[in-house]
Amino acid sequence: MHWMLLNVLLVKLNEELAPSIFFLLINIILLLCLFTELITSGRIFGFVFSTTGQGDTPDSMKVFWRFLLQKSLSQHWLKRVHYAVFGLGDSCYQKYNFVTKKLDKRLMDLGGKAILERGLGDDQQPSDGITICSYEGTLDPWLSSLWRMLNMIKPELLPSGPDVLIQDTTLIDQPKVQITYHNIENVVSHSSDTGSVRSMHPGKSSSNRNGYPDCFLKLVKNLPLTKPNSGKDVRHFEFEFVSHAIEYDTGDILEVLPGQDSAAVDAFIRRCNLDPDSLITVSPKGMDCNGHGSRMPVKLRTFVELTMDVASASPRRYFFEVMRFFATAEHERERLEYFASPEGRDDLYQYNQKERRTVLEVLKDFPSVQMPLEWLIQLVPMLKKREFSISSSQSSHPNQVHLTVSVVSWTTPYKRKKKGLCSSWLAALDPRDAVSLPVWFQKGSLPTPSPSLPLILVGPGTGCAPFRGFIEERALQSKTISIAPIIFFFGCWNEDGDFLYKDFWLNHSQNNGVLSESTGGGFYVAFSRDQPEKVYVQHKLREHSGRVWNLLAEGASVYIAGSLTKMPTDVTSAFEEIVSKENDVSKEDAVRWIRALEKCGKYHIEAWS
């Protein structure tokens, strides 16, 4: 009998996906391959992807999704198709795994048959009262369900039973990258210049697919916005274009590749017994390093410093899985095997993610492990570009880009001091040193509003950043054309400590400025800690319920930006209450009204953790 070949469609495999998850997803694909022995007609499709933005489909899925939405497709079109869906999501977002749910329903509506219930991976997965910041909490049992189903339908294919695991030993033996070492005499020329090597950073950008930076920026101002005793350190940065200016819009995002602490880089190199002065090129395994895929030879230390996050990011579970193969001390190998097992998942979280242990710290805890450079390059998290909302209008500052950055620091459960890599690095930069940064520009989730569009802005803390650009732009437009009003709700802890850009907002809220009530606008601040009871932006929204509703009734768009905690949800609830109260409708109708506002592109949220 002819067996139909399996089609495994990885619609969107998140490029930042943890290696441990990727290894488990390989298991999924292998399992689905075995399912082809069970299906004598039709095909099996496996979908693994993530939701982007506010419930949007990933770029690589958009064409496929439009095809599935064709009205000509009947409800029996996929009657011979079996499928399985696993989504990568984060329950902090309102539209958690929205695309996963949407695709599952559409496939079912077209007659497709699900092999098992869709899996919803949660990057905030709760387990035994704690939060595991990975997808394993959902993925492990989902894989087990696949095995059990396969064993039930065709037990002879799994003689060891449903708990059998695929051990991919060849994956351990063969890393996916190869390194070529160069003799310096044979290299005609190479550059150890940090700026030029930074431009080779392989990270993907939506605006520049080859990973090269869009341009370089020179730091000209580094100003504190908060007082020393405020409990926060928020900075205002101003950069100038080194050569030609790149056009950007208000609401756009600037990506910055941070620098690493030199002492940490040197410690990593010593711990791994590497020669920092070696000249290397790195390429995918099987690719000729002298061919089109080669990179210019660089010093090993420079490569580590600019591409491998050795002292900030925590390794994923797969890092521990591979480490065990190189552990020579038995007690270390046993501990690593336990960490890599489903049973050790919670303890690994407590040791690794919750403490935010870095690659360097983990390697120091397991001194018998000596991993080859090829494996280190593959497993150490890539030094990622950090995204910041641009807080300036290019119309007001033609040759500049401004950022508003909170310098991140915290204490771990074991009282270890930690700090954010990029924000701390930026805060330490001195404009007098003439530092040039490679940067990338990309569109954010806050589209640039037209001058005639009324706006309701909600931006507590550094969420005010994009709105500073909005207001600068509209203030400039007001000098030549008629503009619509803006109401802005800002929030902070104390009026004296962290009232970011205080003079800027107050200036535009007076003398017929774009935020003045005399022009139909408004500026309202919630100081959460200046009184016994906490006051947040949602409270100020309710306090000015009538004005908010009047602007919504005039066709205003809502823009919300800030920390991804409860804020976006609480603010949305406040808007629903305002619609219900001021329009005299039920809470359910108010919820539908806000959803309709969102569907027509007039309710935007940009939140970050």
Q: How many Å apart are CA 527 and CA 328, to the nearest integer?
A: 57
Q: What does the block give as tokens for 320?
A: 């521990």
For residues 525 and 492, the answer to whether their CB atoms sit within 8 Å is yes
Average pLDDT, the chain: 82
Please write the tens of the pLDDT for every residue from 319-341.
999 999 999 999 999 999 999 88
Task: Please tell me the pTM assigned to this model.
Answer: 0.79
536 falls in which pLDDT band (50, 70, 90)?
very high
Q: How many Å apart are CA 489 and CA 485, to the nearest integer?
A: 14
What average pLDDT does range 122-129 have in this prediction? 52
Q: How many Å apart are CA 317 and CA 515, to the nearest integer?
A: 50
Nearest CA to 51 out of 101, 6, 1 is that of 101
342 falls in which pLDDT band (50, 70, 90)?
confident
Q: What share of the chain is helix, strand, coil (3-state, %, to 5)?
A: 35, 20, 45
Q: How many Å apart are CA 273 and CA 370, to the nearest integer?
A: 8
Q: Which domains does the chain carry?
A: 19-166 (3.40.50.360), 201-258+385-444 (2.40.30.10), 259-382 (1.20.990.10), 455-608 (3.40.50.80)
What is the pLDDT, as a whole number, of residue 24?
Answer: 47
Nearest CA to 289 out of 370, 187, 174 is that of 187
Please write the tens of the pLDDT for every residue from 538-586.
999 999 999 999 999 999 999 999 987 889 999 999 999 999 999 999 9
| 481 Cβ contact partners less than 8 Å away, ≥ 6 residues apart | 451
555: left (phi over 0), alpha (psi -120 to 50) or beta: left
Residue with tokens 């489909």: 57
Look at residue 39 and tell me whether its pLDDT is greater than 60.
no
